[in-house]
Chains A and B, each alone.
Chain A
Amino acid sequence: MPLQTADLSLFIKGESCLHSVHPLSKLTYVLLTGVAVYCAPGGYLPAAILLGINLLLAAVSGILLQVWKFSWRTLLPLALFMIPIHGFLNPDNHTVLISFHGAGLYLEGLVFAGRVLLQLAAVLSISLIFVFTTHPADLITSLTQAGLSASFAYILGSPLLLLPAMRERAKTIQDAQRARGLGSDGGVIKRIRSMAPLISPLILGAFAEIEQRAIALELRGFNSARSKTSLRVVPDSATQRAVRKLMLLVCILLFIYKIVPYQYVSY
């Protein structure tokens, strides 16, 4: 797969130990984090601990600054809405912390908002670490090696290659329609009516290409049932395979713990 996929995705080139971990191992860890944050006992604690570990992982692999920046960009708008809305308006609010002119800031809402933000921060940070340290081509190769069909690998990988060309075409259509006088001015009805002339050239143009692409693929043995060899090799080890299985087991156990009513577990 050409290198340009890396420019489009969030992948950051690096030599750290996390970069060389097998993509599926990282993916399983992301899953484990997600399950642990929402299913593990102990309220705040699992999310807080995992967030700490994630920040450490990011620091070790030299991407702490990027993770930090990106997390803020995602979490700040959320927090700006979350804290006041739940602090003032959460239906479970009872304990007033500060009150002015009839409106009160409540403890329960703030605790709720804090918990949700902490959980999100834990899941977001590990997802970012995964995306930052995994080249899309490596992920796709490792998925095919694990038994994913070549057709699936194609629809996972090809959009990354098609996207720049499609964005370019969207830009051309936008410019062309603007030149014809289509714009953001005018009433709502007028703007709704101008939706079709904007969208349909893009879609019909893309459709015209499908046939050619399909023929090109079939000529290259896309439908062949024989397994394809790959130029790219993603290193894996017995230890990593074992750790992956262990993490999956923990995920399942945590999930069972969450859905089975408590009294049956602790008799």
Chain B
Amino acid sequence: MGVTEQFKKDFNTFTWVLISVAIVLNIAVGQLVSLLKLPIFLDSIGTVLVGVLAGPWAGGIAGLLTNLIWGVISSPVAAAFAPVAMVIGIVAGLCAKFGMFKNWWTAILAGLIITVFNSVVAVPIRLYMFGGITGSGADFAMAYLLALGKDLFGSVVVTVFTANVIDKVATAVLVWGIIKGLPEKASARFPRLVRA
């Protein structure tokens, strides 16, 4: 199947609505999670869900637009990290293609893979645009690593990875749980779920 055909098949009205809802979920879910006071934001759970249910293209678009819309409604800094969110959606979609959201332990693996690609894109943005600092708690880790004598690049890589790994693994496992618990009526809508 050609790319355009796959694109048309993936993007029916249902998918567009799914993307729109997922963008809102990304933004709204933080409010719920903050209650638990954990270092977890789950701000890409909608993106990963779309990637798994509707493919990498849809996932990428959901991620990209989430951050751009964030830029319009709360802080332009989020828009600078839009490419990162896009990659999360694409990689989640590809992981699902290889059936990684079928078990909880492959979902953990998928979370790790997402973190790796997330870091590959986030590190240059953080390093060149922000000098490695984003004004959050993760900056203490940066300071510690630099004090240990690591170079700037290495410190940013380690900081970005550790700051994201728990969040992305939790996201992947939750997505696995959600698609497992999806009612038949909804899951029948996604031909990709048979493989995921």
A: which residues have CB within 8 A of B? 8-10, 38, 74, 77-78, 80-82, 84-86, 89-91, 112-113, 116, 119-120, 123-124, 127-128, 131, 136, 151, 154-156, 158-160, 162-163, 166-167, 169-171, 173-174, 178, 182-184, 188, 191-192, 194-196, 198-200, 202-204, 206-211, 213-214, 217-218, 222-223
CA distance A82 to B143 in the complex (A): 10
CA distance A127 to B74 in the complex (A): 12
B35-81 interface (Cβ within 8 A of A): 35-38, 40, 42, 45-46, 49, 61, 65, 68-69, 71-77, 79-80
Flag B159-196 by CB within 8 Å of A: 1 or 0 each.
Answer: 00000000000100010011001110110010000000
The prevalent SS among residues of B at the interface is: helix
Q: How far is the CB of B53 from chain A (nearest CB, A)?
A: 9
Q: Are A191 and B37 in contact (CB under 8 A)?
A: yes
Residues of chain A within 8 A of B6, CB atoms compared: none
Partner of A136, one of B12, B72, B76, B129: B72
CA distance A106 to B73 in the complex (A): 38
Q: Are B28 and A166 in contact (CB under 8 A)?
A: yes
Q: Are A82 and B133 in contact (CB under 8 A)?
A: yes
Closest residue of chain B to A116, judged by CB? B131
* A-B contacts besides A77-B135, A113-B131, A211-B189, 5 pairs, CB < 8 Å: A8-B73, A82-B131, A112-B131, A163-B27, A204-B181
Q: How far is the CB of B77 from chain A (nearest CB, A)?
A: 6
5 closest cross-chain pairs (CB), A and B: A77-B135, A116-B131, A127-B76, A89-B146, A78-B135
